[in-house]
Structure 1
């Protein structure tokens, strides 16, 4: 990032109109709405109904914790499980199944799009060997994470036997068995419903494509005419590198990675940083601010209700 002329970066960002910012924010809101629809549909597939406002509440809570934890986003997933359990009355097994299924579907679709992007960029002759190594390492990390998640779900029946060998967990054997039975039943329903399964695959791909659309729109708005496929490839590879659990939300690594990946396609470092910062604002800071404001208002309203009851 030090290679970029920050005055030039500011000039590039300032060329973006308020109309463009509004359009990008609307695209991000559409993304949030689609994710909420996915949560509602997954819950419905296991026979549990949640309202849109509840899905939004959970999504904002999860997003807030995702934003303040390292980029693997485990904090957000735990927050979602606890929300479903404590606020909506899901059992721990049901909540874990819903969150696990959504995460796996999303990550598998992302892995597929990233693989396509990987082939395109590794053939780029102007890409440095260090950059190629970083891309490959990040892909292997992502692949291992996704495979571990899939293996846990596929071999969920062996988890009980594994837990039984851990001494301090034996006293919780009954609760663990109840959890695993509930988890297994929910996963079976979600996997066996082929129509809904395909719906979630298509929806997840659509959600990820929206991220590429935002990048392409930013490039277009700043006067760059790269192909959509290049914009999409840069987007997915940047997010892949940003998923390495280094800093909260992948801060710093995201911007630097996008600058490096845009350089081989003829985009200057200052323009690359400008694109990354704008995309980061829309997909991270805007959502983080939205979730913070929402949770802040929610806290104030709840406090006032508590005082009114005293």
Structure 2
């Protein structure tokens, strides 16, 4: 971690945010580890004999090429790069393509679905809180409290 701070040109910002940078780095490591493990679990369910390194590197290469802006969300480039990496690891072409598509479904699209559901839940909760606020604001004491001169912004 110290090497990271010595390399940066503006140490003052990073020193102030050292805990934030460290936690972000740690979450990134955990995320990439879980992505590799999920690919490994999918490969085992397909009956493929891959090592952790092979599954993780195929996932990493897939996401690396998926970041090249050729298509929205890297659709196609992720699958192609991952299939090629797995094919180079002596996995049959059909199995490699199946694994890359299933890996994409379980790592990318399920995360998108969970994010969508979380945002929907937050909006529903926020709407409920807003309705609670409105019902409380209809009470005359609350409106009078807001109108009192003590609550005016100076």
TM-score by length of 2: 0.67
Tell me, yes or no, if the aligned pair for 2:43 and 2:50 is still in contact at 8 Å: yes
2:8 match: 154
- In 2, Cα distance between equivalents of 1:249 and 1:199: 26
Task: Determine whether 1:208 maps to 2:62.
Answer: no
* CA deviation after TM superposition for structure 1 residue 237, in Å: 1.2
- In 1, Cα distance between equivalents of 2:107 and 2:40: 14
* CA deviation after TM superposition for structure 1 residue 253, in Å: 1.2
Task: Determine whether 1:244 maps to 2:85.
Answer: no
- In 2, Cα distance between equivalents of 1:200 and 1:286: 22
- In 2, Cα distance between equivalents of 1:290 and 1:198: 26
Aligned equivalent of 1:303, options 111, 121, 127: 127
Q: How does 1:113-152 map to 2 (within 5 A)?
A: none
1:187 match: 14
- In 2, Cα distance between equivalents of 1:197 and 1:298: 27
Tell me, yes or no, if the aligned pair for 2:14 and 2:21 is still in contact at 8 Å: no
- In 1, Cα distance between equivalents of 2:114 and 2:27: 23
Task: Determine whether 1:288 maps to 2:116.
Answer: no
Q: CA 1:294–1:263 in structure 2 vs 1: closer, same or farther (change >3 Å)?
A: same
Stretches of structure 2 lacking an aligned partner (at least 5 in a row): 136-154
Q: How many residues align?
A: 130
- In 1, Cα distance between equivalents of 2:51 and 2:115: 33
Q: CA 1:200–1:299 in structure 2 vs 1: closer, same or farther (change >3 Å)?
A: closer
